[in-house]
Amino acid sequence: MKFARYVLGLERDCPPEWHGRFLRYKELKKRLKPCEVDQSPDSGEEGEEQSPSGRVRDRAAAEEEWFENLQTQLDDINRHFEHYARQIIAEFNATERRRQACCFVFRRRAALRTYTSLAQRAYWCRKFSKVNAVALRKILKKHDKRCRNSKGRAFLARCWRIEEEGGGARDEAAQGEGGGREAASSEGLGAEPVPGQSSPLKHPNAGAFLHSPLLAELQAVQMEAMERLPKDLLYGEADSSSHRGAAAPGSLARASASLGGLLGEAAPMPRPLPPELEAVRVSAAFLAGDQTT
């Protein structure tokens, strides 16, 4: 399956907040046409009165416009990624504080649904970063092949460098943090700067979604939220509303199962979950299989 078709399919299936926010790979690919170097010396001589130097200037202008368009898209991707990543992390921290403070079953049910939502949102935020990282690498590689230069490689190398507060820069592709290191090793995104090649990148944070520390925090949020779900569901805390006055939610079920094991008897079958919590369980099972992606 071609990558452009994959991205289009992903946008159809993604949550509304990510729809139309991915790097427009197909559009960038089409806009490369005016930047291409002629494949043969005679390709531009049929009916053309423009001098070779004029064609070179036109290609240079088209290439500069192409990089400006790419830069604009990357800036939008960074803003969108950072906005939702910080929102997810802040909501997770608030949910953790409420969970530790609350002792009512109905509040724990609400927290259960919140953890499922947080795990799904963290998954899609990380997916958004990874897919755009692959799209950026692919389109810059295609640029260098068609334009016969190394500006795309220099652009990518610059994206992987972080401008520190003191004005110095460090290469995140070499050091790596969290999800940035994972993406660099798996997708080969950590290109080295090209000697003698100036980078067309104007904004130092254009590749923040590649190496942001928020990626590691999102991965932690997804894993922590998933750890809450199986424990709560297995111990029957969500069902304890019908046992008001019981010593502890799920304690009778655990004691019965333990006693049945000692006596050689089959443990009682768990009662079916309410429909809304069954949906939570299905979502948890789906995310459990995708924690490493």
223 CB-side CA count, 13 A: 8
Sort residue 264 into left (φ over 0), alpha (ψ -120 to 50) or beta. Answer: left
> 98-113, pLDDT tens digit by residue?
877 766 655 666 777 8
> 71-90, pLDDT tens digit by residue?
999 999 999 999 999 999 99
Q: Check: CB of residue 199 under 8 Å from CB of residue 154.
A: yes
Cα angle at 251 between 249 and 252, to 5 degrees?
110
Q: How confident is the model at residue 275 (pLDDT cuts 50, 70, 90)?
A: low
**SS3 (DSSP) at 123:** helix
- Rounded to an integer, the average pLDDT of 38-54 is 58
Residue listed under structure tokens 């304890």: 240
pLDDT of residue 56 exceeding 80, the answer is yes
Q: Distance (Å, rounded) from C-alpha 205 to C-alpha 224?
A: 29
Greatest extent of the chain over all pairs of C-alpha atoms, in Å: 96
Residue type at position 219? Q
Residue type at position 170? R
Residue type at position 84? Y
Alpha helices per DSSP H over the chain: 3-13, 25-30, 52-101, 105-147, 151-159, 172-175, 179-187, 208-211, 214-234, 251-262, 275-288
Q: Distance (Å, rounded) from C-alpha 283 to C-alpha 288?
A: 9
Cα angle at 19 between 207 and 129, to 5 degrees?
25
Amino acid 55: pLDDT: 84
Q: Distance (Å, rounded) from C-alpha 161 to C-alpha 148?
A: 24
Q: How confident is the model at residue 19 (pLDDT cuts 50, 70, 90)?
A: very high
Q: What is the pTM of this model?
A: 0.66
Residue type at position 89? I
Angle of helix 214-234 versus helix 275-288 axis, rounded to 10 = 130
> 178-222, pLDDT tens digit by residue?
443 344 333 333 344 344 444 454 554 567 888 899 999 999 999
Amino acid 289: pLDDT: 59
When mean pLDDT is compared over 31-40, 56-65, 240-249, 274-283, the highest value belongs to 56-65
